[in-house]
Amino acid sequence: MTQHNWQFHTFQLIAQDVEQTTDPDLAPLSSCGELFRSLLSIVSQYSEGDFPHTQYKELDELVTTSSQQLGRTQPGTEKSWRRLHTDASILRAIVSLGAATARECIAILDRAIILSGAADHARLDLIQDLITRIQRQYLPLPLFEQSTVPAPTAHDHKAVCTATRAIEAWVFPPSLTTFQRQSCRQPFIVRGYAADWPALNAHPWFSARYLRHVAGSGRIVPVEVGMDYRAKDWTQKIMDWDSFISNLDLADNTPPPGQKETLYLAQHNLFTQFPALKADIITPDYVYADIPSSYFPGRQLPNNPDQFVCNSWLGPRGTATPAHTDPYLNLFVQVVGKKTVWTAPPEAGPSMYSYSSLPGSGLSNTSQVDVFSSSDEQGGEYGEFWEKVVPHAQSATLNAGDLLYLPPGWWHAMRSESTSFSVSTWF
């Protein structure tokens, strides 16, 4: 199949799908129906000749308008906007594809994944196939040679002044039955749990070469800019994966001197963009545990068919996640580097100085206290925290291969002590 033929085939596939859809969730197209009709009009004008450049602008407008509607639409219409954004992005990418525009086209497709989740599994598969096709044709990378990458060194423990206890750590993981009946009620660490994962061995995530290889050329990712999302100057942006990796201190990469911005890929489903990474880890069996509902009355389940979701965290030394709570059970695996973790039980909530007391903060599940700083460093504030929380707080250092389990409702904070790559599974 020639380049032009597969472009035409993709157009026809999307046109047929839009015209014949029976998905009830796409029924309320009145909110974006005119834009969908514009999309169909553009598709119908596509022929086996050259696509008219005058309609690039129309597709750009559809992509921009639909992306602006994501997250602020009428109830029941968001799926339609996601679908429109995804379809318009796919078409915009393939009509302008060429040697000079390959990176731009991949970025357009990546934005469809990042912003609208690629709408559904079928569209996600299509986008991933298109990205691979474009990379192979225009942006091939040399093969990764694992033998060229040295193993990382171990790190020492960092004490936390706001915790008087250590998180219980085991060498052998509890059985699934023991976890269901007893172990799931308290945080615990299993040392070396993931030591045999490919991500720590044959497919090393501590290698910049491997991380570039597994993604391929031209990819973009969403990152946080700043050490802590509570800071006034904290922001977010989308940037080149290649450039992001270049700023990390990895086994085969030294960041350039004078780097001013702190860049953190935080709580992002990187596996959706780079599915090959998923084969480098093993989902812990605990996600399939039958936990009695009476144990955690406020527990929630992720809203997807699997009822668990994996997010990635990748950033330099010093990046931190402030103390907060989540409604899910959490299996957190340290894959690269070292991370300090701080925890406190749900009962600590009244003394955690949550942002819920500040109108309009939007951080009701987050504490104002910097749990990695002393009382003197915080000007003697938050007295109740020091009196009532610190005696019950726990801390530990996670090294590469360690697994941390956290029950829902527990306060927890993280700080990277080196370049750190972690995987968090909510279930």
User: Quick one: pLDDT band at residue 292, thresholds 50, 70, 90?
Assistant: very high
Classified by CATH at the fold level, domain 165-426 comes out as Jelly Rolls (2.60.120)
Reported confidence tier of residue 26, pLDDT bands at 50, 70, 90:
low
How high is the pLDDT of residue 308?
A: 92
Sorted by sequence, the CB contacts under 8 Å of residue 42 that are 6+ apart come out as: 55, 58, 59, 91
- Over residues 305-330, the mean pLDDT reads 95
Residues 17-34 have a mean pLDDT of: 62
> What pLDDT sits at residue 341?
98
The pLDDT-based confidence of 27 (bands split at 50, 70, 90) is: low
What value does the mean pLDDT take over residues 371-378? Answer: 92
H or E segment and range at residue 103: helix 102-116
Contacting residues for 235 by C-beta, under 8 A, at least 6 apart: 224, 225, 226
Q: Which pLDDT band, with edges at 50, 70 and 90, does 19 fall under?
A: low
Q: The whole model's pTM is what?
A: 0.92
Q: So what's the pLDDT on residue 96?
A: 87
Mean pLDDT of 298-320: 93
Supply the pLDDT for residue 268: 96
pLDDT in tens, 318-331: 999 999 999 999 99
CA distances from 244 to 69, 172, 260 (A): 28, 36, 13
> What is the mean predicted confidence (pLDDT) over 369-397?
94
Residue-wise pLDDT tens digits, 92-125: 998 888 999 999 999 999 999 999 999 999 999 9
Mean residue pLDDT across the chain: 89
Residue 159's pLDDT is 83
Q: How confident is residue 415, by pLDDT bands cut at 50, 70 and 90?
A: very high
pLDDT of residue 50: 57
pLDDT, position 85:
94
What pLDDT, in 10s, does the model give residues 180-193?
A: 999 999 999 999 99
- Whether residue 420 contacts residue 331, with contact meaning beta carbons closer than 8 Å, is answered with no
The structural domains of the chain, with segments of one domain joined by +, span 3-138, 165-426
How far apart, in whole angstroms, are the C-alpha atoms of residue 316 and residue 222? 15
Give residue-wise pLDDT tens across range 51-94: 666 678 888 999 999 999 887 766 667 888 898 999 999 999 98
Q: Is the pLDDT of residue 382 over 60?
A: yes
| pLDDT attached to residue 1 | 40
